[in-house]
Chain A
Amino acid sequence: MTESPIPPNDVDSDQDVISRVLGGDRDAFAVLIGRYSDPLYRHALGMTGSPDVAEDILQVSFIKAYHHLAEVRGRFDAWLFRIVANGCKDWLKNIRRTHLSYDEDDQPSGYATPDEDLDRTELRQDLDAALAQLAPSLREAFILKHVEGRSYEEMADLLGTTVGALKMRVHRAREALQALLEEKYA
């Protein structure tokens, strides 16, 4: 993943770690959690807007990954990302079905930081609220591009779609956000 480039000679590759876990070294799974929890948490937080929900999604996703570790084919980080991304989308579907509002219990209450004391500006809150109004596919694309700083090629790998389709989603997300926020940012 973008944040965790792993020098091949310095640490075990994901596949090495997976082999250790499958061989019975359960504790080795903590290496994978440490490697990927931050970027995946940011993604889940951006998608759901709720630190508690993001944490739950990550916990369920990592447990699911552990149980299906032997089924990993190709890149582990992309496989794990898809589990988390699907968890986020399922949550968004459910929250729409139950008519809960972002203005209620799942309102972003402040992103967790190491010290849990991030002083969020009014504009940040406006950005969070505007992101919450985007369709999930647009929000996902915008977060991957502008919050996680990924390239379109990497996004295409993660989401299993084309660069062109992702560019279109990001452009539409930008236009929607600009329409929602321009007056506040002016």
Chain B
Amino acid sequence: MMRNNEPQDDRNMAPRAERPLTDREVPLPGMAAADATAGTVHQWLDGEASEADARRADERAVEFWNQVAKDAQGMKAVKAPAHLAANIMAAIPVREPGPQAARAARVNVELRPDA
């Protein structure tokens, strides 16, 4: 990868094996298999594959996501604080339900004979 405009000299580069993986332009052996494994787990998490299939692909990942699901379950039980609704109702004006009602209110005023 060209990091600047200076000429690149292979002698200044780290040996290939030590270069970061991101600098490699050729897929590593086994990468396609890893993608397929991850793909099966994603499919299971998306409801498109069975847990058995996912376990065959990556047992450890399935255990991991089952644990995450248990923790996420706690989040699903969370409810808004009880006082929230009262606070919101106290904060909204007594008579201002939006432009439509505001227009209606103006019409009402104009229609009153004594207005």
* Interface set of A (CB-CB < 8 Å, partner B): 21-27, 29-30, 33-34, 37-38, 40-42, 45-46, 51, 55, 58-59, 62-63, 66-71, 111-114, 118, 120-121, 123-124, 127, 146-149, 152, 167, 170-171, 174-175, 177-178, 181-182, 185-186
CB contact under 8 A between A62 and B97, given known A41-B80, A113-B79, A114-B79: no
Contact B64 A26 (CB under 8 A): no
A174 to B54: give the CA distance in the assembly, Å: 15
A34, A121, A174: the one within 8 Å of B85 (CB) = A34
Question: In the complex, which residues of chain A have a beta carbon less than 8 angstroms from the beta carbon of B79?
Answer: 38, 41, 112-114
Contact B85 A37 (CB under 8 A): yes
A71 to B97: give the CA distance in the assembly, Å: 11
Complex: chain A residue closest to B69, CB-CB: A146
A165 smallest CB distance to B (angstroms) = 14
User: For this complex, into which size category does the number of interface residues on chain B fall?
Assistant: 35 or more
- Identify 19 new A-B residue pairs, CB closer than 8 A, beyond the known A21-B97, A41-B81, A71-B98: A23-B97, A26-B92, A26-B95, A29-B92, A37-B84, A55-B81, A55-B84, A58-B84, A63-B91, A111-B74, A113-B79, A146-B69, A146-B72, A147-B72, A147-B76, A174-B65, A175-B38, A186-B60, A186-B64
* Interface set of B (CB-CB < 8 Å, partner A): 38, 42, 45-46, 60-61, 63-65, 67-69, 71-72, 74-82, 84-85, 87-89, 91-92, 94-101, 104
CB contact under 8 A between A69 and B64, given known A34-B85, A41-B79: no
Complex: chain B residue closest to A120, CB-CB: B74
A-B contact pairs, 13 of them (CB 8 A): A21-B98, A22-B98, A38-B79, A55-B81, A70-B97, A71-B98, A112-B80, A146-B68, A146-B72, A170-B46, A171-B42, A178-B61, A185-B63
A171 to B85: give the CA distance in the assembly, Å: 35
A44 smallest CB distance to B (angstroms) = 9
Complex: chain A residue closest to B96, CB-CB: A67
B73 smallest CB distance to A (angstroms) = 9
Complex: chain A residue closest to B85, CB-CB: A33
CB contact under 8 A between A69 and B81, given known A147-B75, A185-B68: no
A160 to B94: give the CA distance in the assembly, Å: 34
Contact A58 B80 (CB under 8 A): yes
Question: In the complex, which residues of chain A have a beta carbon less than 8 angstroms from the beta carbon of B65?
Answer: 174
A182 to B65: give the CA distance in the assembly, Å: 10
Contact B74 A22 (CB under 8 A): no
Contact B88 A63 (CB under 8 A): yes
Question: In the complex, which residues of chain A have a beta carbon less than 8 angstroms from the beta carbon of B91?
Answer: 59, 63
B1 smallest CB distance to A (angstroms) = 22
B81 smallest CB distance to A (angstroms) = 5
B64, B84, B88: the one within 8 Å of A185 (CB) = B64
